[in-house]
Amino acid sequence: MRRARVLNFQQITMPYLAAFVPSNWEVIHIDEAESPVDIALKVDLVGITFHTPSAFHVYKLAAQFRKRAIPVVLGGPHVTLMPDEAQAYADVIFVGEAEYQWPQFLRDFETGKYAHRYSANIPPTLEDAPMARKELFHRRDYTAGRLFASRGCAYGCDFCTLAVMYQRKVRKRPIAAVAAEYASFRGKVIIFWDDNLANDREYAKALFRAIEPCKKWWSSQASIHAGEDEEFLELAARSGCKQLFIGLESISQASMNEVHKGFNRVETYARVIERIHAYGIAVQAGIVFGFDNDMESIFDETLDFLEAVGVQNATFNILTPYPGTRLYQRLETEGRILTRDWSKYNSRDDVVFRPQNMSPETLLEGYRYANWRFYSCKSIYQRLSRSPVGLWWTLPLNLVYMSAFRYYGQ
């Protein structure tokens, strides 16, 4: 289940998997962030994708369908990370990427004989990746343009599940196919659900040239390397890039080194952000609190920095040791995992491990304080006057977040 937030993002996993389903099958797509699941649905097969925080909820949902003898197929990040656990709650599980095995399973299902586990031993090429089926999007006007060009990340940071899920193998779709999907959305605002669009900057530059004529606006996640390449930024800006989500993670170099993300050089952050702004691109900083090297002062230090450089948006997270990651293994060995209630692995409302230099309560309070301070009138004024890039949309968005944090606690 995805809790509805201020910005309710279009889910593409199931509309994408639906594109592999034979045309004589009828597909119903329910996104729980939009509407509840009717467990009395008359269907032959149920497929569910989910992240770790939704695991227990999904297991209960699966049980309700299975009670009615409807087979349930589970896949997605949590299943890939915890296959043996998920297997107990499903008729079939998909471990890893499904491009090769999903069509095979659908054929097997039609014959009535199928395996209980399909594992992606070879990472799929994505050469023939189809477009997600838009008629299954919850925004039927297709203004919510969401797609991916590449998959995977070349880096192996301890806290990130990607290195485990994709073994650091970056794959790319053909540029013409991505550009065609990009152009096919009626709306103007597009998000690339890529893990790191700066993985292969030459590929990204060719993509930017191909999508420029569409005159749409887009945003994506990218590592800090995006801001070190002037040509990347220039072509990105020309093709309509309005914001880059940059995984800064921490303003403490010791913290970055500790989790093997030492390629983030804290002393370059201000310069990189300034350079991205110079191309008219806003920065959304991804920040994580709770590393072993974080002291209680980290919250104010981080906010002082974000305000001084004029970052337009930020996503704060509480460090969360997702199962399967090196971080999880280390904290488990050190006896510091406080709970295995996956619903608490949400990075926002709960601290699931014992931090080194503060109590779990201080970490949670510090995280809340960061959101509260970042989305306060004073901070918004300070940041957006320091760097008024895209003020016409960054200001309203900041105000929406401000009211959300104040009135809805999001």
Choose among 162, 159, 173, 163: nearest CA to 125. 173
Q: How far is the CB of 312 from ligand B12 (least distance, A)?
A: 18
In the sheet with 189-192, reading across from the earlier edge strand, the strands are 145-147, 189-192, 217-222, 241-249, 282-289, 313-318
Torsion of CA 118, 123, 127, 132, to 10 degrees: 50
Main-chain dihedrals φ then ψ at residue 190, nearest 5 degrees: -120, 140
Does the protein bind ligand B12 through residue 11 (CB under 6 A)?
yes
Does the protein bind ligand B12 through residue 239 (CB under 6 A)?
no
**Interface pick for ligand B12 out of 18, 65, 77, 223 (rule CB under 6 A):** 77
Interacting stretch for ligand B12, rule CB under 6 A, among 50-58, 251-259, 298-306, 399-407? 50-58
Q: Are 90 and 59 spatial neighbours (Cβ–Cβ below 8 Å)? A: no
| Binding map of ligand B12 across residues 114-153, x = CB under 6 A, - = no contact | ----------------------------------x--x--
Which residue's C-beta sits nearest to ligand B12? 75
**Interface pick for ligand B12 out of 99, 181, 249, 307 (rule CB under 6 A):** 99
Q: How far is the CB of 308 from ligand B12 (least distance, A)?
A: 25
d(CA 31, CA 64) in angstroms, rounded, equals 17
**Interface pick for ligand B12 out of 56, 109, 142, 193 (rule CB under 6 A):** 193
Q: How far is the CB of 286 from ligand B12 (least distance, A)?
A: 10
Alpha helices, H only, 1-87: 13-18, 55-67, 77-81, 83-87
State whether residue 145 is helix, strand or coil: strand
Does the protein bind ligand B12 through residue 49 (CB under 6 A)?
yes
Choose among 215, 207, 216: nearest CA to 143. 216
Q: Are 27 and 53 spatial neighbours (Cβ–Cβ below 8 Å)? A: no
Does the protein bind ligand B12 through residue 54 (CB under 6 A)?
yes
Q: Are 394 and 322 spatial neighbours (Cβ–Cβ below 8 Å)? A: no
Does the protein bind ligand B12 through residue 81 (CB under 6 A)?
yes
Does the protein bind ligand B12 through residue 75 (CB under 6 A)?
yes
Report which secondary-structure segment, H or E, holds 272: helix 269-278
Does the protein bind ligand B12 through residue 13 (CB under 6 A)?
yes
Does the protein bind ligand B12 through residue 302 (CB under 6 A)?
no
Q: Which is nearer to ligand B12, 17 or 233 (CB)?
A: 17
Does the protein bind ligand B12 through residue 317 (CB under 6 A)?
yes
Does the protein bind ligand B12 through residue 181 (CB under 6 A)?
no
Does the protein bind ligand B12 through residue 387 (CB under 6 A)?
no
Q: Are 303 and 379 spatial neighbours (Cβ–Cβ below 8 Å)? A: yes
Are β-strands 150-151 and 171-172 bridged in parallel, bridged antiparallel, or unpaired?
antiparallel
State whether residue 384 is helix, strand or coil: helix
Number of residues that bind ligand B12 (CB under 6 A): 38
Tokens of 289: 């609190």
Q: Which is nearer to ligand B12, 17 or 272 (CB)?
A: 17
Torsion of CA 62, 325, 14, 43, to 10 degrees: -10
| Binding map of ligand B12 across residues 19-48, x = CB under 6 A, - = no contact | ----------------------------xx
Q: How far is the CB of 206 from ligand B12 (least distance, A)?
A: 21
Q: Which is nearer to ligand B12, 76 or 145 (CB)?
A: 76
Choose among 130, 138, 221: nearest CA to 180. 130
DSSP letter for 337, please.
B
Tokens of 342: 């996956």
Does the protein bind ligand B12 through residue 161 (CB under 6 A)?
yes
Tokens of 174: 């053909």
Does the protein bind ligand B12 through residue 322 (CB under 6 A)?
yes
Q: Which is nearer to ligand B12, 253 or 410 (CB)?
A: 410
| CB neighbour burial string for 2-37, b if at least 16 within 10 angstroms, e if fewer | eeeeeeeebbbbbbbbbeebeeeeebebbbbeeeee
Interacting stretch for ligand B12, rule CB under 6 A, among 92-100, 357-365, 372-380, 398-406? 92-100
**Interface pick for ligand B12 out of 149, 160, 190, 397 (rule CB under 6 A):** 160
State whether residue 280 is helix, strand or coil: coil
**Interface pick for ligand B12 out of 58, 162, 272, 351 (rule CB under 6 A):** 162
Tokens of 198: 């700066």
Q: How far is the CB of 52 from ligand B12 (least distance, A)?
A: 4
Q: Are 82 and 51 spatial neighbours (Cβ–Cβ below 8 Å)? A: no
The site for ligand B12 (CB under 6 A) is made up of: 2-3, 9, 11-13, 16-17, 47-49, 51-54, 73, 75-78, 81, 94, 97-99, 102, 148, 151, 160-162, 193, 195, 317, 322, 346-348
